[in-house]
Amino acid sequence: MEFKPSIEHPRFRFRKLLVGAAITCSAVAAASLLASRSASTSPPSPPPITKISVSPIAVPMVVPITITLPSPPEPIIEDAPEPSPPRAIAPKLDAECVGVEDPSDACAWDDGFPAISADGKTIAVKHHHEDAGRGHPGLSIELVDARTSRITRTLRLLSPDEYDPDVGLPTSKIARRVIAAQRVLDAGHFRSLVRVVTTDLESTASPLRVELVDAAVRVIDTSTSSAVWQHRFTVEAAFPDQGPYPETDNCNINRVGDIAVWWDAPSRSLLSLVDYEAGPCYCNGATRAHVIQLGDH
């Protein structure tokens, strides 16, 4: 029996092709859908790691440095200036302080000298007698004319000749003389003058300051910064009767020593007490009062 191959009808062949194409498209779509789902559900891949090669660099070692700071300076504590001692307003004598070798502390108080009378005509000055040869104490109160600078009266409290080292001071005489001198001062209503200090010192008692250069004096009014008086003291003017200093053993005043200036505002009186030194050795010096009224100059 002869076998004959079957011949497929063209219409059936076309259907097979359509079915195959449909299956192929379904498979492709399913694969695409699966791929998209996998892409949406799987985590993103990490970025690629970039490798950088770094050459080693030598780092210098840091050595700690110890810095020693100096100690802070100690605070400078300045002592407060001592207040000025109380100033007397009127002269007051004390017999217990006249000629005493070892006086009490009360004798260091301001005794109110020099002083000027209420009428401004007389100035009272304490005069300590020099006794260069023996060293005996002596004290007087000299009343000076404020217009002429001349001594008009001397109230002696103790003379160097009255002192006896073996006996001591004549205390009874001193007491009586002190009482008598104090009565004179009280009767004239004497008031104390104010010391004019140098320009490097502070003082509220007087607006005046004094500059001293050797025997030259200049008084400055600090309120106006002006010189209200200046003068140069000389031995020749103070002792006109004394000749030139001789080369003998005779005592003579030879130079100007210390100068102190005092002031009275009500009378505008300016008092200079000038010490004059003498020579040769064991010669007594002298003190002279020089008075002016600033209103007259």
pLDDT digits (tens, 9 = 90+) for 63-77: 677 778 788 888 877
| Whether pLDDT at 4 is above 60 | no
Residues of the chain above pLDDT 90, percent = 47
- What pTM did the predictor assign? 0.69
Block residue for tokens 């990490």 = 46
Grade residue 133 by pLDDT with cuts at 50, 70 and 90.
confident
Taking CB atoms within 8 Å and a gap of at least 24, the contacts of 264-268 are 264/116, 264/120, 264/191, 264/193, 264/194, 265/194, 265/206, 266/120, 267/116, 267/120, 267/146, 267/293, 268/293, 268/294, 268/295
What are the tens digits of pLDDT across the range 110-130?
Answer: 999 999 999 999 999 999 987
Residue-averaged pLDDT of the chain: 81
Given this model, what pLDDT does residue 297 score? 47
What are the tens digits of pLDDT across the range 163-174?
Answer: 888 888 889 999
